[in-house]
Structure 1
Amino acid sequence: MYFFNCRIHSGAIVAGGISQGKSSSLKIDFHILKYFRTDKHKRDFVSAGAAAGVAAAFGAPVGGVLFALEEGASFFNQQLTWFIFFASMASTFTLNFVMSAIDGHFGDLSSPGLINFGLFKDTPYMWFELPLFILMGFIGGIFGALFNQLNLRLTKFRHHYINKNWLLIIELILVAATTVVIAFLLIIGTMNECRPIKTQLELNSPTIQLYCPDGQYNTMATIVFSTPEQAVRNLFHSEIGTYNPWSLLIFCIIYFCLTCWTYGVIVSSGLFIPTLLIGASWGRLVGIIMHTIFPSSVQYFDSGKYALFGAASQLGGTMRMTISLAVILIEATGDIVLGLPIMIVLTVAKLTGDYFNEGIFDIHIALQSVPFLPWESEVFASQLSALSIMSTPVIQLKTVEKVENIYQILRTESHHGFSVVDHHTDERNDHRAGTFQGIILRHQLITMLRKRNFISFNDCLRDYLTMDDFRESYPRHPPIESVHLTNEEGELYCDLRPYMNLAYTVSHRSTLPRIFSMFRGLGLRHLVVVNDKNEVVGMITRKDLARFRMTHKKGHTSIQELPISH
């Protein structure tokens, strides 16, 4: 169930480690890729790793690129897009090369990917099926919104009442026991549903005989005890009449409830393939109903085709992905002809689900208080200015600052970035006033203190630190508690001008949509707010923007301020 998530997480973790070229936990440094030891490059590597994981799982390199851009990266440009595309291409090539050696066909690079749903070839559809596709998208949006709402309430219940380790373990045991018991009850209730093994799909797929005679298999037991990937493939390609409609309906309801309960337990559990299986089960049920009503149009009302549309609809209604999911399913099934129906059901499912609540990923991001920016600012944002959302007062450092002042600020403040102002100020009025010069990061200041990069007040800096000095401890920079200064060192000064970073500024009159566009378009982490004299009056971070969220529920819109984790 968690294979798809594992592929994404594995790719992201491996890529994040590659961007460092070292292991902080094992204290091993390979002294490679030092240029990429920055937060920006690490984020790019993580996005590329997620795309590579999707590409390897489904054999869908283009779908992997679109997945990373649609769901994984909060900022992207042409260079990042090419970077992600190259990673997906390399991942697909490497997988196919290795699989050709494992399968005994060395050099055959036509592997369909680790997750194989089987190919749809020349599957027809007619214009009179389009209303049915729209209806299936509507059903998927309703079911997806219901799934998200139930999982949201269950997750809140866990946070409030199941918040101890032993309670989490008990819940896990209860989930496992309940799943096994229900699975056996479902199989026992359908023990007479036997079918002869005769198709090539049944010969190549694992089948379970259970109480059936020799040469036959139990259809429900095969779905329940197969992996979700194999079960989805069976629902896509089994012959008409393989499954009993009532048994399929009961399986869909039970699997829906168990998946909703399982997603969020203490162990790693995926959602992509189980959601596909839920949608494929009720989608095939729709195909069976249409075949029963129109038995003469079997070439159009194919149960497997509608199982695919149901799977796409359920995914779109639950996760609210459209572009990447459409391409992934087209590449995984190998039939571009079905691209239009897949896009129709995904679009309708997303629009229907958005009417009731957000996607499952957005819901859990909000629950974890992660400052993840939406794609665009809300309509209400034009009424807010920088003064409404900025953090103030701002801790400011002079371009040549006393070591003791820097040390005390770092010990008392937890900010990641500090504004640097011109030190030519009138100290009788405000010794921290001055025109804005740039931003210096916390780890840069700590490195300067650790390296004793000090000067006397009337002296000039001669020994400059290099980029390797700032990158050597990345990504786990030492805390300020690791720095110990003598009284004499505290009276010296640090010249911040060679090391401070140029930063974007915005007027205190700027509206929130303009600020939001700058963060999204430029990939910013800090934005300094200045007045007409170019004096710092505030600081805006991604957390400040992510605090305000407009929620849409049942046609009503409300504004709420979210708690943001630090």
Structure 2
Amino acid sequence: MKPLFSLESLDYDNIENQLFLEEEEQMSPMFLQCVEISRWVVCGLTGFLTGLLAFFVNIVVEILSSYKYQTVKSYIDGFTEDGRLCASMMLWTMLNLAFVLAGALAVAFFEPIAAGSGIPQIKCYLNGVKIPHVVRLKTLVIKVFGVICSVVGGLAVGKEGPMIHSGAVVAAGISQGRTTSLKKDFRIFEYFRRDTEKRDFVSAGAAAGVSAAFGAPVGGVLFSLEEGASFWNQMLTWRMFFASMISTFTLNFFRSFRHGKGGELSNPGLINFGQFENGAYKLYEIPIFMCMGAVGGLLGAGFNFLNYWLTIFRIRYIHRSFLQVTEAALAAVVSITVPFMLIYWSDDCQTLGEEQAVEHALQMFCPDGEYNSFATAFLNTPESSIRSLFHRPPGSYNSLTLFFFTFVYFFLACWTYGLTVSAGVFIPSLLLGAAWGRLIGSLLANCGVSIWADPGKYALMGAAAQLGGIVRMTLSLTVIMVEATGNVTYGLPIMLVLMTAKIVGDYFGEGLYDIHIKLQSVPFLAWDAPATSHSLTAREVMSSPVTCFSRIERVGTIVDVLSDTASKHNGFPIVSEFITSEVFLRRSVSSTVAVFVERTRLNQRRLMLKDFRDAYPRFPPIQSIHVSQDERECTMDLTEFMNPTPYTVPQETSLPRVFKLFRALGLRHLVVVNNENRVVGLVTRKDLARYRLGKHGLEELYLAQT
């Protein structure tokens, strides 16, 4: 992401200028009905393509992981006989390193915005911040390639988180009916080429991504509500749910053929936690579960604290591309070297039963018919290890194995999140929590309460606690966990665990996504203004002085104002005798000047709303428009392009009222006037984002300017 001062806001409030009103008057009921049908078509296509994309990622990861496992296992089995494992470890390391390097190089040198899970960026986009390249086709391609390499490369990552970003990109591309990356326009869905419509489809795409990742369509809708959407209505809810259901169905359908059971729809998501046959729990276990939630909150706070300082170190010292790739390569080597050393000394041998087959079982130094549980946990993909921790019978892991696995994986996952690779934190968090949760269950069982202390059940609660402690979500995670396990019985304890983890974690700091949003200096607006901020007024927070235009303005004057990079805002009130009534935006002005000059040369001065849609979203910068000296002396009538009814507030309005109006309506600028209705300032997103509630009360962040 770019620094705060170079980011722009999105226009989530429709500008009701003359062009907009003229087009609306020409709309017939049949056209409006076709537009509504088109919205459902776009959501359906979004769900279908997101599910298809998830299937592609899943099958490629399965094939490559299986090939890597078979290759490594054949070497290990051969070398354990004569006691030489060094060559096996080198082979394992080189395979992982090759995949990680490929993914890191693609992200670092071709599209850095594809790094990480993409959830913080999508949250910012839906909040109203224009993050460069966040929903580009190029970003999607690098994202998919990068996450495949990261997972197969053995990093402590998951492919589920990036699916949310991928679904959002798919929705953004389909809804515009073109791809600006390939400069291809299909001339469909042109009506949706504006920020308001695009935002709603991105919300649906994010929900479809969650649904494809976890097989949780309801959880996907709630995720967009809890974490992203800045606007909500009943029809949008239905369309999002429709996209989520189509996404789950598509992935389920294609995976059924992959597993040789065509048409048997029993694989709804990329990760399936499996059915918990014994879904019962005792009433007196609830306090234990809540204590586990507190542990998850503490561990999550520690995880976020370490990752915070690690990210600061990266920002300061590892900001060059080749250094970022080098760090990713180092993480790949350490991620296999440290576990391999622990595996070498591990003697946790378990019987390889026929009833419950162990995926990718590794014998190591164990007798025939047995496997090393520590080696199997690290060699498998994270999803397979989670299912094993949930469903393997009691005694499948000894306590020492679970302890060392938790300890090592905690630091590996913390280090990995933030690398220049495409990767998510959902699955590593679940795996980490499942390990220490099963450890607690095993300890309780050893204390003589094995009748009800099922280790798999405690692994599930630990997974929920750890994930909640790191990302601090409650409502959507509860539903996702319930849908993924297929057992609503666990709904109440999971909810209590997540709430406890959030309360404890919030006491020590913020969630992981919020931390990274702030570290990237994004002006993210919460739902409400900071507490104790009623004493601040619009006059104290606004940007001033304000550059204004007249209704009839010289082209040269407009070009000079737009070329002034020192301007603190991109909105320009149009005033008449210092009385405000309209607002014009920088992007609209640039596009208007460009089309005006072109039409002037062709003796055609009439502009249409279609001209702005054709330029959306990459409006031409004023520097790219050549204006001759004669054209500079021409005048433009801005009446038909300006917003004739902008929102205004008196300068004595309190900050919470300004914040509520700005946030709820999705504004980009808010005009501040004095008692004589004269323009005295503009409130921008940056003006509101710089205030926060700190340890010593209300704090103002002093942000650097370019």
In 1, Cα distance between equivalents of 2:158 and 2:680: 48
What are the equivalent positions in structure 2 for 1:467-546 lying under 5 Å apart? Answer: 467-501=609-643, 502-546=645-689
The answer to which of 27-36 and 324-333 deviates more is 27-36
TM-aligned CA deviation for residue 244 of structure 1 = 0.8
Counterpart among 285, 293, 296 of residue 129 in structure 1: 285
TM-aligned CA deviation for residue 565 of structure 1 = 9.2
On the 8 A contact 1:455/1:493 being kept in 2, the answer is no
> Equivalent residue for 2:494?
342
Matched, 1:561 2:704: no
In 1, Cα distance between equivalents of 2:214 and 2:641: 45
1:108–1:535 Cα change, 3 Å: farther
In 1, Cα distance between equivalents of 2:533 and 2:176: 38
TM-aligned CA deviation for residue 311 of structure 1 = 0.5
On the 8 A contact 1:137/1:346 being kept in 2, the answer is yes
In 1, Cα distance between equivalents of 2:477 and 2:652: 41
TM-aligned CA deviation for residue 487 of structure 1 = 2.2
Show CA shifts across 1:216-242 (max 9, x none): 211111101001111011000110011
In 2, Cα distance between equivalents of 1:439 and 1:200: 71
> Equivalent residue for 1:61?
217
Matched, 1:331 2:483: yes
Matched, 1:421 2:564: no
In 1, Cα distance between equivalents of 2:371 and 2:625: 70
Task: Tell me which amino acid in the other structure corresponds to 2:583.
Answer: I
TM-aligned CA deviation for residue 366 of structure 1 = 0.2
On the 8 A contact 1:455/1:492 being kept in 2, the answer is no
In 2, Cα distance between equivalents of 1:224 and 1:454: 63
On the 8 A contact 1:196/1:217 being kept in 2, the answer is yes
TM-score normalised by the chain length of structure 1? 0.92
> Equivalent residue for 2:43?
none
In 1, Cα distance between equivalents of 2:262 and 2:598: 62
In 1, Cα distance between equivalents of 2:305 and 2:536: 31
On the 8 A contact 1:65/1:88 being kept in 2, the answer is yes
Percent of aligned positions that are identical: 50
In 1, Cα distance between equivalents of 2:704 and 2:638: 31
In 2, Cα distance between equivalents of 1:113 and 1:482: 47
> Equivalent residue for 2:313?
157
In 2, Cα distance between equivalents of 1:275 and 1:486: 60
1:454–1:188 Cα change, 3 Å: closer
Aligned length: 546
Matched, 1:241 2:395: yes
TM-aligned CA deviation for residue 109 of structure 1 = 3.4
Show CA shifts across 1:483-514 (max 9, x none): 12222222221111111124211111111111
In 2, Cα distance between equivalents of 1:519 and 1:44: 18
TM-aligned CA deviation for residue 28 of structure 1 = 1.2
On the 8 A contact 2:386/2:431 being kept in 1, the answer is yes
TM-aligned CA deviation for residue 454 of structure 1 = 10
**Relative contact order: is structure 1 or structure 2 higher (C-alpha 8 Å, sep ≥ 6)?**
2
In 1, Cα distance between equivalents of 2:262 and 2:396: 37
Which secondary structure does the structure 2 equivalent of 1:472 belong to?
helix
Which secondary structure does the structure 2 equivalent of 1:379 belong to?
coil
On the 8 A contact 1:50/1:64 being kept in 2, the answer is yes
On the 8 A contact 2:350/2:371 being kept in 1, the answer is yes
> Equivalent residue for 2:519?
367
Task: Tell me which amino acid in the other structure corresponds to 1:306.
Answer: Y
> Equivalent residue for 1:201?
356
On the 8 A contact 2:554/2:632 being kept in 1, the answer is yes
TM-aligned CA deviation for residue 73 of structure 1 = 2.2
Which secondary structure does the structure 2 equivalent of 1:115 belong to?
coil
In 2, Cα distance between equivalents of 1:53 and 1:29: 25
> Equivalent residue for 1:429?
none
The answer to which of 254-263 and 65-74 deviates more is 65-74
On the 8 A contact 2:572/2:586 being kept in 1, the answer is no
On the 8 A contact 1:453/1:494 being kept in 2, the answer is no
> Equivalent residue for 1:443?
587
In 2, Cα distance between equivalents of 1:266 and 1:448: 39
> Equivalent residue for 2:27?
none
In 1, Cα distance between equivalents of 2:615 and 2:598: 20
> Equivalent residue for 1:257?
411
TM-aligned CA deviation for residue 470 of structure 1 = 0.6
The answer to which of 165-174 and 64-73 deviates more is 165-174
1:508–1:282 Cα change, 3 Å: same
Show CA shifts across 1:433-463 (max 9, x none): x22122222222222222226999xxxx995
> More helix by proportion, 1 or 2?
2
Task: Tell me which amino acid in the other structure corresponds to 2:701.
Answer: E
Give the RMSD, CA atoms, in angstroms: 2.2
What are the equivalent positions in structure 2 for 1:61-210 lying under 5 Å apart? Answer: 61-190=217-346, 192-198=347-353, 200-203=355-358, 205-210=359-364
Task: Tell me which amino acid in the other structure corresponds to 1:540.
Answer: V
Which secondary structure does the structure 1 equivalent of 2:681 belong to?
strand
1:565–1:176 Cα change, 3 Å: farther
Task: Tell me which amino acid in the other structure corresponds to 1:44.
Answer: D
In 2, Cα distance between equivalents of 1:450 and 1:318: 48
In 1, Cα distance between equivalents of 2:429 and 2:238: 30
TM-aligned CA deviation for residue 176 of structure 1 = 1.4
1:509–1:260 Cα change, 3 Å: same
TM-aligned CA deviation for residue 74 of structure 1 = 3.3
Task: Tell me which amino acid in the other structure corresponds to 1:437.
Answer: S
> Equivalent residue for 2:125?
none
Alignment gaps of 5+ in structure 1: 426-433
The answer to which of 271-280 and 479-488 deviates more is 479-488
TM-aligned CA deviation for residue 108 of structure 1 = 3.1
On the 8 A contact 1:368/1:565 being kept in 2, the answer is no
Show CA shifts across 1:134-155 (max 9, x none): 2111111110000000111111
On the 8 A contact 1:22/1:29 being kept in 2, the answer is yes
In 2, Cα distance between equivalents of 1:411 and 1:145: 46
What are the equivalent positions in structure 2 for 1:201-240 lying under 5 Å apart? Answer: 201-203=356-358, 205-240=359-394
In 2, Cα distance between equivalents of 1:380 and 1:26: 50
Which secondary structure does the structure 2 equivalent of 1:494 belong to?
strand
Which secondary structure does the structure 2 equivalent of 1:153 belong to?
helix
On the 8 A contact 1:151/1:261 being kept in 2, the answer is yes
